[in-house]
């Protein structure tokens, strides 16, 4: 029989198939996680069988209990009901009948502190589950883990039997949201706190003031919000509610008030604080501006003493962020009085002047019972060691701070607004680079990290998609053991977590679709599909390129309604296409399934401009991206030609290759602030075609 088959198929074909079978990469256990947990727990021991989850599921709280835990269990049951659509009884169960028995040992601190015990142990058997934790913080995290374990199976919903012992690697796992550049409504903040809880993040850093807005109600200095916010600010009552909401989820709220720079919004109401005469207006532009507080005027400190006193009472957390970054010093240079003060006090330069300001500020912050935190620029050996440094400029400054005895957190590498891939953020580690060489004592000073969501190009509408799902990869970096670092496993679990995050109210997936519908206007099904085909494989330009390549300067009043605002910062379809090309090349371009899928993708892309054309004529927002639609079509043409050459197994000519690569290089550039993601994968196919499909020079 085998012989017949070989003779029919041809020996050459048969050998190719054998080779193919040998070459198709096998997925390793690490790439194919049995458990879709994110962040990955510190330790997981698999058991046998699974625990059925049905409408009789119940929970009991034992040991220490408090209203926060009861609310936590209620949220847990609501979420479980959403995951299974079972009508669940939200009332606490009797001990003997409960499916999940929780034991919490003792209360956590009334005002949550850095480094409290957040550990838990979760044991699931076929008969039931137990969750034990020293404090409610661990209990809340254990409930999140349990929710991630429950999934549909062939005979109902179930959680696998196992034992998890879990605790975080770092005590500070934060997300910063900038509510100043674009005002972010409380309901949006709340749903992001829901996401943080699911990802086991425990610090919400709230960037509340900047040149573009002052977002907090001050009763002592009401002109701050009255003149500095366009009416878009949070009342003190709303802030108290938000802090309580965060505490319920094991999340601390650290407020940031930017000074002495990034502070124009202070000066609209109180121009006397500035280093140059007013009047001042809310700044609508992005970037570093000249206005800065006057560090040589005692009135500045009197104001800050009263203001910080008021805010220190409003925000319960131990930490108080004073910003401190990006002071360009121009107002200081231009002020005669300030220059004289510097000479008289031996302050040699603006850096020394800022250090003087930081020292005075630290004393005020400490007087009101708080620990000061600020961006790298405040680092100065004259400051007391109580100060914490948030590193945005690089891991070197974090290590330098730790060496000098300061505590620090890493944000460099975690800037969500730069549009990096989840994998790139995931690779950044607070204890890598210079920090890897610190002594154990110095390493202890590195408390963790924070992702940052700056909102130049982020609105209430699209903020979720700028934060999630990538933020969950950063959350895992900060929670899970350092050895958990395989990007393939991370992406597999992220794909699982991402849709589930929408159950918590986040809109990172649905907002894409909704925004595209606005962009398209009334559209036929196939027209909308054509827009989606293009939008799925583009990403906004990275880093600060959007600022640098804007046709018209963007401001806080520019509408964020373009394709660049709607598409996710990381294209799933683009990533998967890259994986498919790698798979194809990994089989020396022999895998017929991968080859067929590539061909059909290219065909759709090649034919897409004609389908998009009617929409481009009706919508200026679609018309803007027609140029990228043409590029995608041209790219597909190159891809198809490469596949054809590969199928012939005859190396394409050098001149063909260099022509195609040059064309692709042009397509790689951002246009209408969009990157075409499949370009680099098609470059690999061209290389493969030039080697006759043996892929000698094309590396997956
Ligand atoms: C910053 O990004 N300037 C903190």
On average, the pLDDT of the chain sits at: 94
H/E stretch holding 476: helix 470-479
pLDDT digits (tens, 9 = 90+) for 630-687: 999 999 999 999 999 999 988 999 999 999 999 999 999 999 999 999 999 999 999 9
Alpha carbons 60 and 91: distance in angstroms, whole number: 9
Evaluate if residue 8 carries a pLDDT over 50. Answer: no
Quick one: which atom of ligand 1 is closest to the CA of 415?
A: 2
Which one is predicted more confidently, 87 or 430?
A: 430
pLDDT band at 89 (very low <50, low <70, confident <90, very high): confident
For the record, the structure tokens of 273 come out as 């604080």
Question: Per-domain residue ranges for the chain?
Answer: 2-166, 172-494, 511-690
pLDDT digits (tens, 9 = 90+) for 574-592: 999 999 999 999 999 999 9
H-type alpha helices, 233-287:
236-248, 264-269
H/E stretch holding 263: none
Catalytic residues: 326
Does ligand 1 have an atom closer than 6 angstroms to the CB of 325?
Answer: yes
Q: Which residues are registered as beta bridge partners of 256?
A: 207, 321
Q: Domain spanning 2-166 has what CATH number?
A: 3.30.379.10
Evaluate if residue 66 carries a pLDDT over 90. Answer: yes
Alpha carbons 464 and 125: distance in angstroms, whole number: 36
Task: Report, as an integer, the average pLDDT of 413-426.
Answer: 98
Q: Do 431 and 413 form a contact (C-beta atoms < 8 A)?
A: no
pLDDT digits (tens, 9 = 90+) for 486-529: 999 999 999 999 999 999 999 999 999 999 999 999 999 999 99
Evaluate if residue 453 carries a pLDDT over 50. Answer: yes
pLDDT band at 88 (very low <50, low <70, confident <90, very high): confident
> What contacts 29, CB < 8 A, 6 or more positions away?
none
Task: Report, as an integer, the average pLDDT of 20-37.
Answer: 52
pLDDT band at 95 (very low <50, low <70, confident <90, very high): confident
Q: DSSP class of residue 207? A: E
> 535-562 burial string, b = 16+ CB within 10 Å, else e?
bbbbbbbeeeebeeeeeeebebebebeb
pLDDT at 22: 46
Specify the pairing of strand 129-133 against strand 120-124. antiparallel
- The pair phi, psi for residue 350, each rounded to 5°, is -65, -30
Superfamily of domain 172-494: Glycosidases (3.20.20.80)
> Radius of gyration over alpha carbons of the chain, in Å?
28
Alpha carbons 600 and 590: distance in angstroms, whole number: 16
**591: three-class secondary structure by DSSP:** coil
E strands, 215-360, are 252-259, 319-323
Q: Which of 176, 207, 261, 375 to mutate to test the pocket of ligand 1 (most atoms within 8 A of CB)?
A: 375
Does ligand 1 have an atom closer than 6 angstroms to the CB of 183?
Answer: no
pLDDT at 12: 53
Task: Report, as an integer, the average pLDDT of 237-263.
Answer: 98
Could you tell me the distance, in angstroms and rounded to a whole number, from the CA of residue 358 to the centre of ligand 1? Answer: 17
Q: DSSP class of residue 376? A: G
Q: DSSP class of residue 41? A: P
For the record, the structure tokens of 119 come out as 């550990």
Does ligand 1 have an atom closer than 6 angstroms to the CB of 394?
Answer: no
pLDDT at 693: 73
**Residue 137 to residues 112, 132, 235, Cα–Cα distance (Å):** 9, 11, 28
pLDDT at 5: 39
CA neighbours closer than 13 Å in the CB half-sphere of residue 641: 17
pLDDT at 700: 57
pLDDT band at 96 (very low <50, low <70, confident <90, very high): confident
Does ligand 1 have an atom closer than 6 angstroms to the CB of 386?
Answer: no
pLDDT digits (tens, 9 = 90+) for 296-354: 999 999 999 999 999 999 999 999 999 999 999 999 999 999 999 999 999 999 999 99
H/E stretch holding 325: none
């Amino acid at each position: 029989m085998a012989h017949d088959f070989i003779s029919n198929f041809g020996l050459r074909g048969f050998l190719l198939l054998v080779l193919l079978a040998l070459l198709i990469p096998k997925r390793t256990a690490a790439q194919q996680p049995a458990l879709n947990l994110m962040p990955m727990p510190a330790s997981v021991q698999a058991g046998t069988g699974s625990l059925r989850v049905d409408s009789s599921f119940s929970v009991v709280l034992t040991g220490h209990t408090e209203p926060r835990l009861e609310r936590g269990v209620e949220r847990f049951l609501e979420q479980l009901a959403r995951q299974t659509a079972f009508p669940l009884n939200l009332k606490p169960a009797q001990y003997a009948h409960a499916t999940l028995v929780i034991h919490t040992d003792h209360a956590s601190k009334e005002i949550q502190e850095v480094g409290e015990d957040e550990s838990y142990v979760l044991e699931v058997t076929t008969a039931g589950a137990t969750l034990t934790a020293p404090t409610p913080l661990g209990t809340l995290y254990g409930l999140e883990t349990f929710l991630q374990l429950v999934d549909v199976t062939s005979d109902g919903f179930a959680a696998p039997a196992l034992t998890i012992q879990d605790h975080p690697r770092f005590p500070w796992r934060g997300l910063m949201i900038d509510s100043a550049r674009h005002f972010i409504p409380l309901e949006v903040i709340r749903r992001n706190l829901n996401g943080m809880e699911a990802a086991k993040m425990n610090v919400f850093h709230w960037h509340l003031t900047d040149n573009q807005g002052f977002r907090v109600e001050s009763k002592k200095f009401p002109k701050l919000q009255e003149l500095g916010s366009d009416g878009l600010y949070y009342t003190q009552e709303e802030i108290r509610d938000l802090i309580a909401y965060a505490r319920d989820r094991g999340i601390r709220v650290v407020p940031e008030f930017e000074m002495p720079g990034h502070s124009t919004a202070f000066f609209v109401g109180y121009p006397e604080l500035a280093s140059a005469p007013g009047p001042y207006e809310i700044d609508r532009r992005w970037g570093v501006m000249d206005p800065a507080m006057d560090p040589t005027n005692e009135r500045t400190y009197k104001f800050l003493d009263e203001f910080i006193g008021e805010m220190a009472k409003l925000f319960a957390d131990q930490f108080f962020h004073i910003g401190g970054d990006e002071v360009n010093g121009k107002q200081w240079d231009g002020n005669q009085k300030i220059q004289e003060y510097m000479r008289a006090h031996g302050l040699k330069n603006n850096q020394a002047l800022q250090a003087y300001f930081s020292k005075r500020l630290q004393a005020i912050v400490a007087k009101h019972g708080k620990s000061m935190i600020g961006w790298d620029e405040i680092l100065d050996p004259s400051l007391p060691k109580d100060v914490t440094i948030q590193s945005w400029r690089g891991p070197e400054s974090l290590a330098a701070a730790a060496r000098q005895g300061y505590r620090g957190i890493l944000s460099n590498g975690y800037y969500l607004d730069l549009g990096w891939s989840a994998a790139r953020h995931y690779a950044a580690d607070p204890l890598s680079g210079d920090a890897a060489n610190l002594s154990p004592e110095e390493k202890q000073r590195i408390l963790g990290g924070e992702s940052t969501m700056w909102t130049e190009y982020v609105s209430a509408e699209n903020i979720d998609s700028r934060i999630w799902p990538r933020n969950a990869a950063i959350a895992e970096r900060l929670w899970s053991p350092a050895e958990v670092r395989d990007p393939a496993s991370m992406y597999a679990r992220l794909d699982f977590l991402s849709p589930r995050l929408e159950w918590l109210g986040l809109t990172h997936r649905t907002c894409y679709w909704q925004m595209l519908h606005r962009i398209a206007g009334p559209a036929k099904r196939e027209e909308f599909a054509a827009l989606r085909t293009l939008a799925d494989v583009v990403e906004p330009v990275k880093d600060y390129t959007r600022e640098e390549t804007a046709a018209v300067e963007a401001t806080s009043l520019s509408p964020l309604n373009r394709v660049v605002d709607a598409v996710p910062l990381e294209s799933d379809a683009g990533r998967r296409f890259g994986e498919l090309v790698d798979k194809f090349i990994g089989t020396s371009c022999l895998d017929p399934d991968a080859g067929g899928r590539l061909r059909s993708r290219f065909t759709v892309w090649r034919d897409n401009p004609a389908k998009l054309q009617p929409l481009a004529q009706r919508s200026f927002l679609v018309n803007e991206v027609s140029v990228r639609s043409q590029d995608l079509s041209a790219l597909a043409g190159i891809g198809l030609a490469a596949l054809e050459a590969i199928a012939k197994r005859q190396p394409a000519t050098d001149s063909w290759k260099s022509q195609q690569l040059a064309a692709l290089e042009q397509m790689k550039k951002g246009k209408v602030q969009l990157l075409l993601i499949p370009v680099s994968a098609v470059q690999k196919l061209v290389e493969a075609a030039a080697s006759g499909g043996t892929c000698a020079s094309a590396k997956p």
